[in-house]
Structure 1
């Protein structure tokens, strides 16, 4: 029997994001307002015909819309919130969390925001923005990351502009040169490479008075190219970025600047790897990172990040998720084109071999993993070099890239692997909410669970508990 889909929270969110009343959305879907009300309150399941109408009328990707997870206030994220020890005496069960997420998505998102602000205030003093916007309790990085993920890391306005510009500047022999010419001819901006001493610790600096972009001589070639594309994006797409910033309404100046930079970074990647051309090449080469870096003059991280942005309705790529970590396990990037199977507030599961990449520098390390809900993913991890050569910035970073197992047969790095018989590693989210019983890597017992330890019996898991 097919599983019934109760997607009321997502329907409400979609309607709210499009600025529609129930009557207007019901008309577009060809149903009555009362029926839509029942759908949004999870009193009726969403049928296949409704999903098709959503795909046609709202350019919704059915697979992404019907899948679980990926939103602030989702049941998975709320479970992580209520795993905090401050809630341990409340004994909030999974069913209560699911009901809150499904029936009151706005309240659920509010709880998630409050917890995020509280958690970040624990880590350091917070300040309220000059306009008294309490959203400034979030660190700029968290606010920007959540905003970008709320848009599934895809911005059509930037994609369209970058695709037009990137196509016009296409050059099979050089990527940087046509970008440099465009800066000079359209905006009178010259590009020069200077020693790091002149930039005083920066990797690039734009001097608007001299119309001069200075790039550090320590930057690797593909990062110099990206730097030129970044500056071109700031000038070329200024009106588009300004509109996106107005819609986003960042809570303070610092967050606004960081989001501004993020939009320009996004556009720079889209100029270097125009959507249609890049997607066609990705499918032609079975998403081979090495082939794509060579064809587009980009590096491993730039291509991996671009994979997570391929969410154009009607021309979607494989929905990848991506992490970037340092050897200490600090997560400095976390993006997903659809859903992300790991903890929002914590790091990664130690069973995922992302850290193994540091022991095999430059090599791709593949792994099949399975999350507690039974969903399987194909993942690949590999090290990357930092963008700038410097004694202070030395050391490697690691990129973790993954997608649902159903897409793995399309990947170059999965060739030769029997996906039906290959060993699968069970992984989980943060230990505090992971339900796996016999995990030798468990660092903490799951929140709210009764420990099953006894001095006369030692177990594989350091914190056995009553399921």
Structure 2
């Protein structure tokens, strides 16, 4: 059955009960047989386009509510939550996740909501971050209306790499009577951008490189010119607190700025023509590697899709400060920390180099397992050498032929580096890099012999 097939039985059944109708009465209203309606309600038949139109016309029905699973990220979103170590002994597979979503979507949404509010969705971090990230995930980090508006604005400004900063600066001056001023570090020690309306200045830190300056100017420009569009998008979700809403608004604003610097159609064509050559793309669009990585996760326009990348930012301790799955279906970002065998840790010792690795993710019950990952160090904005992270991009190995960075890399899954989801969620035996025993696995201590790994444990049946 196609992924696009609309199985909406529970929603249709709730609509019928809300209207106080029997199956026979609703079937007559929709022009179908009661037995066919019964099959639709039991998700044994999809909801056809003809019947959907009848439902909308006869019952003034919002069709968006028929895909309730989208609010929790669909099968991938629920599978990610159920892959938590707390459920490891239940061996929940992807088929069971699909069955739950199809048969009881509201129960699945309730389960996801309880999980998210437990504060454990991304390693027990702040609830506001969890809530904001959940909304980004619901959109799969793709905002089609923003891309369309940004493309038109970019065409209007006639942006190009050679005069990018000048075009943005001139727009601020002409339309908003704002000048751009670069201030020394001692004047802006704790800020990279500040809008001084009294002086009619957009003030930027001297610590920003050219790509970061352009991005900050673009972000200020869209804040001024696209306030209504941004506010309308942010007003949609029902956030529990103001901080989550503000974080989501900041993400949408940054998305808008990136879409202005890398207009969708032109950017996608450049990606395809160059084989996603990151170095060429950075120079052509005047962006940093981190800005480029963000944009690569958003290429999901209907009829114009790019490769489904995921992206993350990781510190030296293996902690995630950013992670965007996009349309990749990646679950390897959902642990508290990253596996020390992953190339992201080696990248810290190879500053500025593109480090490429084929990885096979073990212990994943949902989503793809064989990936091509590309990692590179970046310095924190305005911090120079004081703070450094690694940005990692990943795409399924089956797309490697379209990726210039994967040329010459073996795509045999058997030769891929086996990694886990961090030691506490990894059940691989014999790993000499292990720092912690896996959660829930009984430890075995042999008084007569010492193994080659620090922890011996009884293997769990992960089938």
- Does the pair score TM above 0.5? yes
| Distance in 2 (alpha carbons) for counterparts of 1:33 and 1:342 | 40
> 1:200-250 CA distances to partner (integer Å, 9 max, x unpaired)?
511101123443211111111110000000001111211111111111233
| Distance in 2 (alpha carbons) for counterparts of 1:13 and 1:165 | 43
In terms of mean alpha carbon deviation, does 446-455 or 324-333 score higher?
A: 446-455
In terms of mean alpha carbon deviation, does 165-174 or 301-310 score higher?
A: 165-174
Whether the 8 Å contact between 1:184 and 1:190 is mirrored in structure 2 is yes
Output aligned runs, 1:275-286, within 5 Å: 275-286=264-275
Whether the 8 Å contact between 1:383 and 1:398 is mirrored in structure 2 is yes
Whether the 8 Å contact between 1:154 and 1:309 is mirrored in structure 2 is yes
How far the C-alpha of 1:380 sits from its partner, in A, is 1.0
> Does residue 369 in structure 1 map to residue 359 in structure 2?
yes
Q: 1:409 to 1:395 in 2, by over 3 A?
A: same
Q: 1:117 to 1:457 in 2, by over 3 A?
A: farther
Q: 1:13 to 1:293 in 2, by over 3 A?
A: farther
Output aligned runs, 1:200-211, within 5 Å: 200-211=189-200
| Distance in 1 (alpha carbons) for counterparts of 2:345 and 2:417 | 15
Alignment match, 2:84: 80
Match of 2:130 among 142, 146, 156: 142
Alignment match, 1:408: 400
| Distance in 2 (alpha carbons) for counterparts of 1:184 and 1:15 | 52
SS in 1 for 2:391: strand
Match of 1:152 among 140, 145, 155: 140
> Does residue 464 in structure 1 map to residue 457 in structure 2?
yes
| Distance in 1 (alpha carbons) for counterparts of 2:279 and 2:331 | 26
Alignment match, 1:117: 117
How far the C-alpha of 1:330 sits from its partner, in A, is 2.3
Alignment match, 2:52: none
| Distance in 2 (alpha carbons) for counterparts of 1:104 and 1:336 | 25
| Distance in 1 (alpha carbons) for counterparts of 2:4 and 2:132 | 26
Whether the 8 Å contact between 1:331 and 1:347 is mirrored in structure 2 is yes
Alignment match, 1:378: 372
> 1:247-299 CA distances to partner (integer Å, 9 max, x unpaired)?
12332222222222111100000000000000000111110110001000101
SS in 1 for 2:172: helix
How many residues end up aligned between the 2 structures? 415
Specify the structure having the higher radius of gyration (Cα): 2
> Does residue 248 in structure 1 map to residue 259 in structure 2?
no
| Distance in 1 (alpha carbons) for counterparts of 2:205 and 2:452 | 52
Q: 1:334 to 1:14 in 2, by over 3 A?
A: farther
SS in 2 for 1:426: strand
Alignment match, 1:396: 388
Whether the 8 Å contact between 2:293 and 2:393 is mirrored in structure 1 is yes
> Does residue 293 in structure 1 map to residue 309 in structure 2?
no
In terms of mean alpha carbon deviation, does 177-186 or 239-248 score higher?
A: 177-186
How far the C-alpha of 1:33 sits from its partner, in A, is 4.5
TM-score, normalized by length of structure 1?
Answer: 0.78
How far the C-alpha of 1:13 sits from its partner, in A, is 12
Q: 1:11 to 1:149 in 2, by over 3 A?
A: farther
How far the C-alpha of 1:442 sits from its partner, in A, is 3.7
| Distance in 2 (alpha carbons) for counterparts of 1:117 and 1:458 | 42
| Distance in 2 (alpha carbons) for counterparts of 1:14 and 1:431 | 40
In terms of mean alpha carbon deviation, does 170-179 or 275-284 score higher?
A: 170-179
| Distance in 2 (alpha carbons) for counterparts of 1:175 and 1:418 | 39
| Distance in 1 (alpha carbons) for counterparts of 2:36 and 2:196 | 58
Whether the 8 Å contact between 2:142 and 2:300 is mirrored in structure 1 is yes
Structure 1 unaligned residues grouped into runs of 5+ = 48-56, 59-63, 85-90, 125-136
Whether the 8 Å contact between 1:324 and 1:334 is mirrored in structure 2 is yes
> 1:4-53 CA distances to partner (integer Å, 9 max, x unpaired)?
77999x9559989xx999999xx9xxx955444333xxx56999xxxxxx
Output aligned runs, 1:255-334, within 5 Å: 255-334=244-323
Whether the 8 Å contact between 1:196 and 1:203 is mirrored in structure 2 is no
| Distance in 2 (alpha carbons) for counterparts of 1:417 and 1:349 | 21
In terms of mean alpha carbon deviation, does 299-308 or 448-457 score higher?
A: 448-457
> Does residue 355 in structure 1 map to residue 345 in structure 2?
yes
> 1:300-346 CA distances to partner (integer Å, 9 max, x unpaired)?
11111110011111101000011111222221110122212314251
Q: 1:11 to 1:403 in 2, by over 3 A?
A: farther
TM-score, normalized by length of structure 2?
Answer: 0.78
SS in 2 for 1:174: helix
How far the C-alpha of 1:105 sits from its partner, in A, is 4.1
How far the C-alpha of 1:143 sits from its partner, in A, is 1.7
